[in-house]
Amino acid sequence: MGLIVQKFGGSSVADAEKIKAAAQRAVQAAREDNHVVVVVSARGQTTDQLFGLANEITDKPSNRELDMLVSTGEQMSTALMAMAIHALGHDAISFTGAQVGIVTDSHHTKARILKIDTKKIREELDSGKIVVVAGYQGVDAYNNITTLGRGGSDATAVALAALLKADLCDIFTDVEGIYTADPRVVPEARKLDRISYDEILELASLGTKVVQARSIEFAKKYNVPLRVRPCFNNSDGTIICQEAKDMEEVVVSGVTVTKDEAKVIIRGIPDRPGLAARIFKEIARNNVNVDMIIQNIGTHGHANITFTVPRAELDDAMSALHGIQQEISAREISSDSNVAKLSVVGIGMRSHCGIAEKMFQTLADEEVNIQMISTSEIKISCIIDEAQSKRALKAIHKAFDLGKK
Ligand code: ADP
Ligand code: ASP
Ligand code: MG
């Protein structure tokens, strides 16, 4: 007997008809002699609406209370899904994350799963039930409800698949699979039949929201067989797997853009040892994550440092820096939120050259100025003006010939 985890995203359970269709898939898999665990997200825009409710009360809600609130979206979906399965004549039982022992750390709104006690799930599966688990949530060591960051139902599904040693984890969503670029922004984008864990991990970390980056880290570590599939038809979607030799023949697998970052510029600091350390110590002390960093070569004894931070953390970064401006003798500290990070990703970059040149030339032809550059073995990212990002994304997609063949 096999074991399958099926995860249904928000759009796949948005209304009664969709819930019934999802339930049908679960029942079919069970009738094909599988144990089935279903992980559900909150319906449609429910999570956004719940965050909105909090903001109607206060600008700065407590993260613990936010988790209490937003986790309810998934709980609603589980009960409705279990009812839909019952209506199809199959036994099912719904659980919250806490009820099935998904234990996380205490970082409210972005908790990490520490352990899952699979005993209860196994017992229910063995008694012939389809087990429906609320995605996106867990409980910490002090019994507080936590959530796993936006898109976190993917992490629930993958973690359960890993620990239950599932034969397959299917992520059902509202597109045909993983594309070379967001198909809603680049209509010519092509659906990929397969992609390596490393590539989708980079893409997800750099803004591709089709699967949550953390879930891929987990999938890679535990070698979870993963598929991203449409909920609206029976296509196979995209298989996410370990890289195979022939995958390197494809130089670029995808392009992506994120507008979640902001740029911080510190001008005119004395060019001497210890100042960069002092700046980033202060930034870290304020729990701000830093991404790209550039320091120019000092002239006349002074240097400039530019770096990017998540947009949501810009205010914290700026107040931290203003607090030490005198101490570090910085002439000026400024920021720019109107930036976007455009990236190309592909494991083929390891063995092919000329990718950076092609990317930079394409941006030059589009008259897009590159403000910052960073690279890893399988990606090149550029910070550009946000207003030009859509045009730049399309041009890069075309330049690397990623469109439909
Ligand atoms: P779900 O609610 O099922 O979790 P998400 O909204 O989290 O769905 O993810 C699906 C969305 O991801 C799609 O509607 C699509 O617009 C977006 N997306 C962004 N980049 C890509 C890509 N490269 N391939 C496929 N979808 C992408
Ligand atoms: N409902 C949560 C969100 O909107 C989790 C998820 O959908 O994966 O982020
Ligand atoms: Mg999602």
Share of the chain above pLDDT 70, in %: 100
C-alpha 359 to ligand 1 mean position (Å): 24
Confidence of residue 63 (pLDDT cuts 50, 70, 90): very high
**Ligand 2 lined by 136 (C-beta under 6 Å):** yes
**Ligand 2 lined by 130 (C-beta under 6 Å):** no
Atom of ligand 2 nearest to the CA of 153: 8
- Residue whose CA lies nearest to ligand 2 atom number 4: 47
Does the residue 73 lie in any domain? yes
Looking at the CA of 42, name the nearest ligand. Answer: 2
Does the residue 201 lie in any domain? no
Share of the chain above pLDDT 90, in %: 92
**Ligand 2 lined by 138 (C-beta under 6 Å):** no
pLDDT of residue 248: 75
pLDDT at residue 252 is higher than 80: yes
Instruction: Give the residue ranges of DSSP H helices in 71-226.
Output: 72-87, 119-126, 153-163, 197-205, 213-222
Number of domains the chain contains = 1
Does the residue 315 lie in any domain? no
From 397, 401, 399, select the one nearest 183 (Cα to Cα): 397
Atom of ligand 1 nearest to the CA of 153: 4
Half-sphere exposure (Cβ direction) of 291: Cα atoms closer than 13 Å: 24
pLDDT of residue 300: 85
Segment 375-404 shows an average pLDDT of 95
pLDDT of residue 296: 84
From 93, 111, 94, select the one nearest 102 (Cα to Cα): 111
- Residue whose CA lies nearest to ligand 2 atom number 5: 151
pLDDT of residue 393: 98
Domain residues for the domain of 106 are: 2-174
Residue-wise pLDDT tens digits, 154-209:
999 999 999 999 999 999 999 999 999 999 999 999 999 999 999 999 999 999 99
CA distance 170 to 150: 19
Does the residue 223 lie in any domain? no
Averaged pLDDT of the chain: 95
pLDDT of residue 146: 98
Confidence of residue 236 (pLDDT cuts 50, 70, 90): very high
Looking at the CA of 9, name the nearest ligand. Answer: 1
Segment 10-19 shows an average pLDDT of 97
Residue-wise pLDDT tens digits, 101-156:
999 999 999 999 999 999 999 999 999 999 999 999 999 999 999 999 999 999 99
- Residue whose CA lies nearest to ligand 2 atom number 6: 151
Residue-wise pLDDT tens digits, 256-312:
999 999 999 999 999 889 999 999 999 999 989 999 999 888 788 999 999 999 999
Confidence of residue 230 (pLDDT cuts 50, 70, 90): very high
Looking at the CA of 228, name the nearest ligand. Answer: 1
User: How many angstroms separate the Cα of 136 from the Cα of each of 94, 109, 178, 202, 348?
Assistant: 15, 10, 21, 21, 33
Residue-wise pLDDT tens digits, 327-351:
999 999 999 999 999 999 999 888 8
**Ligand 2 lined by 29 (C-beta under 6 Å):** no
pLDDT at residue 227 is higher than 80: yes
C-alpha 125 to ligand 3 mean position (Å): 26
Does the residue 28 lie in any domain? yes
C-alpha 152 to ligand 3 mean position (Å): 7
**Ligand 2 lined by 8 (C-beta under 6 Å):** no
Beta-carbon count within 10 A of 86 CB: 14
What CATH number corresponds to the domain at position 100?
Answer: 3.40.1160.10
- Residue whose CA lies nearest to ligand 1 atom number 11: 210
Does the residue 215 lie in any domain? no
pLDDT of residue 314: 96
Ligand 3 ion: nearby residues, β-carbon < 5 Å: 9, 151
Atom of ligand 1 nearest to the CA of 203: 23
With the most atoms of ligand 2 within 8 angstroms of its CB, the residue from 7, 43, 47, 102 to mutate is: 47
C-alpha 32 to ligand 1 mean position (Å): 29
CA distance 41 to 375: 34
